[in-house]
């Protein structure tokens, strides 16, 4: 009796195994039938993907990818024929293909019982993926226009993953030219990732920063991501890395100075900036930022004035340098005026007030130059109104009041 039970049990195992392999065959047959149901095919292949007897078979996973590719082809063919495809179905199927092929490729590259590797499906999978790659870009744009940044990211991200995969790299020459879409996919995946949380954004931006396309922009996004997260350590290291590539980018210089000062690393900040001046003594912004560090990091107004003046000497059209130098004089003038206002003796009051006026006069041309360069700056207009008032420049004061709409 025991022998009979064992025989029946063995028979059942064979039937189940055979049934799962039949599911694989049936699923593909249904998907290939233009009147067949893709959902039915997906249901059948899902069973095989989960069953112990078929889940480790490369054919099962290859077939799952084929089913999705057949769904994709149904819609993309309409597009080729000038008909309107269901783009949501088309790009959803496209996005499903690669994970199945990736698993199939791993299984397809395993040695057989004799220790030999004889892939059966890798060549076909590579051909399918290479033909489909451009559609990832179309799909990303489709979802971008719909403000679906998760799917935008998913498609661009999968393009990169597939492009860099062993499946597509196998057999390709090491010096093969890079598809231009690879650059775009990295960039737009990173931009879409800014809406998807800190970890995804950082991962995508760090990847995109290694690709020679809009690196300056990507590094700025990456710095802002660390800044918003309050991660000064990574912000600092990223800025130093960015400046090695873009040594003249003012955003990186200013941001590095700021983060070093906020971290109390004033010596490192000024050492970095003085080194930059030594390497390029004719670049005005380096002096401007050195002045900024001396002012905000050391409260050394004399040194700050020296470097701001040098920056203005090199480039008088730099509104930041002009503003900073004018601000140094103006703030000193305000402080001097406060001293004068505390004096009751008329003669001494006038002496101290004249000192304040001298400082306001020194600041005046710098603020006027800033306004010339940037006529819409409200802060500069308000400062000039104060200077004109303190210098008894009635006509100029009236013009500024009118300009400010305060009549």
For 28-65, give the DSSP string. Answer: HHHHHSTTS-HHHHHHHHHHHHHSTTTTT-HHHHHHHH
Q: What pLDDT score does 237 carry?
A: 96
Give φ, ψ of 172 to 5 degrees: -90, 145
**pLDDT beyond 90 at 275:** no
Residue 71 pLDDT class (50, 70, 90 cuts): very high
Q: What pLDDT score does 7 carry?
A: 39
**DSSP summary character for residue 315:** -
Q: What is the pTM of this model?
A: 0.76
**DSSP summary character for residue 77:** H
Q: At what angle do helices 284-297 and 266-279 cross, to 10 degrees?
A: 160
Alpha-carbon distance of 285 to 253, in angstroms, equals: 9
Name the residue ranges covered by the structural domains of the chain: 19-170, 316-407
**pLDDT beyond 70 at 10:** no
In whole numbers, what is the pLDDT of the chain averaged over residues?
A: 91
**pLDDT beyond 80 at 14:** no
Q: What pLDDT score does 9 carry?
A: 41
SS (H, E, C) 67-80: HHHHHHHHHHHHHH
Cβ–Cβ under 8 Å, residues 241 and 231: no
DSSP 230-242: T-HHHHHHHHHHH
**pLDDT beyond 90 at 258:** no
**pLDDT tens digits, 124-167:** 999 999 999 999 999 999 999 999 999 999 999 999 999 999 99
Contacts of 156 (CB under 8 A, 6+ apart): 136, 137, 140, 185, 186, 188, 189, 192
Mean pLDDT of 209-223: 97
**pLDDT tens digits, 333-350:** 999 999 999 999 999 999
Q: Where are the alpha helices (DSSP H) in 109-197?
A: 122-145, 149-163, 166-169, 180-193
Give the residue among 264, 271, 261, 268 at the shortest CA–CA distance from 295: 261
């Amino acid at each position: 009796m025991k022998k009979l039970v064992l025989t029946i049990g063995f028979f059942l195992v064979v039937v189940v195994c055979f049934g799962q392999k039949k599911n694989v065959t049936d699923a593909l047959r249904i998907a290939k039938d233009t009147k067949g149901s893709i959902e039915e095919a997906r249901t059948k292949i899902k069973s095989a993907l989960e069953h112990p007897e078929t889940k480790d078979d490369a054919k099962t996973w290859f077939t799952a990818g084929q089913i999705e590719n057949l769904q994709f082809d149904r819609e993309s063919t309409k597009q080729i024929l000038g008909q309107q495809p269901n783009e949501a179905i088309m790009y959803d199927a496209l996005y499903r293909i690669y994970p199945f092929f990736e698993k199939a490729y791993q299984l397809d590259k395993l040695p057989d019982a004799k220790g030999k590797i004889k892939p059966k499906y890798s060549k076909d999978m590579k051909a399918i993926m290479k033909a489909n790659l451009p559609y990832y870009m179309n799909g990303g744009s489709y979802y971008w226009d719909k403000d679906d940044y998760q799917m935008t990211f998913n498609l661009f991200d999968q393009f990169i993953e597939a492009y860099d995969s062993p499946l597509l790299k196998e057999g390709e020459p090491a010096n093969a030219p890079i598809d231009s879409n690879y650059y775009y996919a990295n960039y737009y995946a990173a931009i879409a990732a800014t809406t998807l949380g800190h970890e995804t954004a950082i991962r995508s931006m760090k990847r995109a920063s290694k690709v020679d396309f809009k690196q300056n922009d990507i590094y700025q996004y990456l710095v802002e991501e660390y800044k918003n997260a309050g991660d000064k350590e990574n912000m600092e290291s990223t800025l130093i890395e960015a400046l090695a590539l873009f040594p003249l980018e003012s955003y990186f210089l200013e941001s590095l100075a700021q983060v070093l000062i906020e971290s109390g690393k004033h010596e490192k900040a000024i050492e970095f900036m003085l080194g930059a001046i030594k390497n390029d003594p004719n670049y005005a912004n380096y002096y401007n930022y050195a002045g900024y560090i001396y002012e905000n990091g050391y409260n050394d107004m004399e040194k700050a004035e020296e470097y701001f003046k040098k920056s203005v000497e090199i480039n008088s059209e730099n509104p930041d340098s002009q503003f900073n130098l004018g601000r140094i004089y103006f703030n000193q003038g305000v402080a001097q005026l406060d001293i004068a206002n505390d004096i009751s003796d008329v003669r001494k009051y006038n002496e101290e007030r004249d000192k304040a006026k001298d400082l306001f006069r020194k600041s005046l041309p710098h603020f006027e130059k800033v306004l010339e360069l940037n006529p819409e700056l409200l802060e500069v207009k308000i400062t000039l109104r104060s200077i004109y008032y303190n210098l008894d420049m009635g006509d100029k004061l009236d013009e500024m009041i009118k300009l400010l709409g305060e009549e």
